[in-house]
Structure formats: C-alpha cells, structure tokens
Amino acid sequence: MMFKILFEDEYFLVAEKPSGLPSQPTVDKRRPDFFTQLKKQLTEERGPNYLGLHHRLDRDTSGLMIFAKVKEANEPLANLFKKHLIQKTYLCFTKKQKCPDAWEVKNHLAETRDAELKKMKMHSVRSGGVKAHTLFKKLQEFPKALLVEAKPLTGRMHQIRVHLAEQGLGIYGDDIYAAPKKPAPPRLMLHALRLEFTHPFNQEKMNIECPLPPDMEDFQKSLS
C-alpha cells in the first residue's frame, strides 16, 4: 500500500492514514502500523530519513496525520499541539436523532476498562477526569443517519466518539460505544478531514485537507 502525501516542506510532512492501521507501533511487534510503514515507504523512495511522531488517530479512523521531518521541527510542532494551535476537523456519519444545527460538548472524561470488551474506554464524570471540549455541526441529513462535522478543542482519547455516543448520536461502525448497526458500515465512519495552523517557521496560514476515502463515500451513497 502506498500512502498519500498531502503536504510536505522541509520541516513537516502530512500523510493520509488508512483505516485499520494503528498510528504507531503496538506491543505486538509483528503488527503493522502507519508510522513504521510510512517511514519505510519514504526510505525506499528517498533513502534514510527522519520522521517525528506527535499525535495519533484511532486504529479505525482514517485521515490526516502530521509529522516532523527534521529534529528542529519537533519542539515547534509539539508546542502547536500543547497549546491547541492546530485545529483538527473530522467528518462522521452518526445515528439520526433530533439535534441542533450546531452545538458543543464541554465536560470531563475519565478512562475505565470495559471487562466485557476487554478494552479501555472513556466516559463523562461529574468530578475528576480530564477536560474535553468539542464543537459539532450538522452538515446533512439522511433517512437513517446524519453527516456531522466535529472540531475537538482538546485531544482526549475517543473524545469525539464518546461525546456523540453519550448524546445518542453514536458513530456508525463504532465497536466500543453505542452505535447504529444498519445499514452495516465497513468500519468506523470517522475521518480526519482537515488541519489548520500557522506554520511556526514561515508564519504561513496552513489549511490541509484530505477528502473522504472511497469506503466512506460508498457508505454515504448507501444512506441515500
């Protein structure tokens, strides 16, 4: 599989992660991951190279990931994430339910282990936990689904998924949180569409987009 490069300069590289690959190496060293495979692809194309990992997407989420190409870009990129100066925009297909055209969820999330699923998951809590804040916008209605835009203002595990699920708007294909089953999706219908930030080296306003992948486009057609 050849990964798409959506943007590249001397400091940063933005590539499209496909669904089904972990963002980074896991405990199982035999399991392929996006970071290792992308670095291998770049090495085969241009020789030994540096790639700095600064964020992740859930395994079944597709879309944009940004990497540092040189070590001097690590600190500026880390600061963009730390200070929430990178705006990430996602698209997802959710259960159809009455909701505003635009809304926000601001709460605190805590991590717990689901004994039945044998997976870690997040849930909202009244005290403790970590702050989580997401802006949502309803973009389109279908007979059995909604197309929703999500802009997380914090970067918590499963943030978009749990914020929607706890409002009865579970994302199609979610295997951890409550989600609709029909029509059956091929995977989690969540895609990292856009990255917006000010380039820390040249101060240029960056707006990098990655269109919906074919499996989500096909699912959208099935909804109509």
Three-state DSSP string of the chain: CCCCEEEECCCEEEEEECCCCCCCCCCCCCCCCHHHHHHHHHHHHHCCCCCEECCCCCCCCEEEEEEECCHHHHHHHHHHHHCCCCEEEEEEEEECCCCCCEEEEEEEEEEEEECCCCEEEEEEECCCCEEEEEEEEEEEECCCEEEEEEEECCCCCCHHHHHHHCCCCCECCCCCCCCCCCCCCCCCCEEEEEEEEECCCCCCEEEEECCCCHHHHHHHHHHC
Cα dihedral across residues 88, 80, 22, 107: positive or negative: negative
User: Taking the CB of residue 165, how many other CB atoms lie within 10 A of it?
Assistant: 22
Tell me whether residue 60 is one of the annotated catalytic residues. Answer: no
From 33, 58, 60, 174, the catalytic residue: 58
d(CA 163, CA 178): 11
Catalytic positions are 58
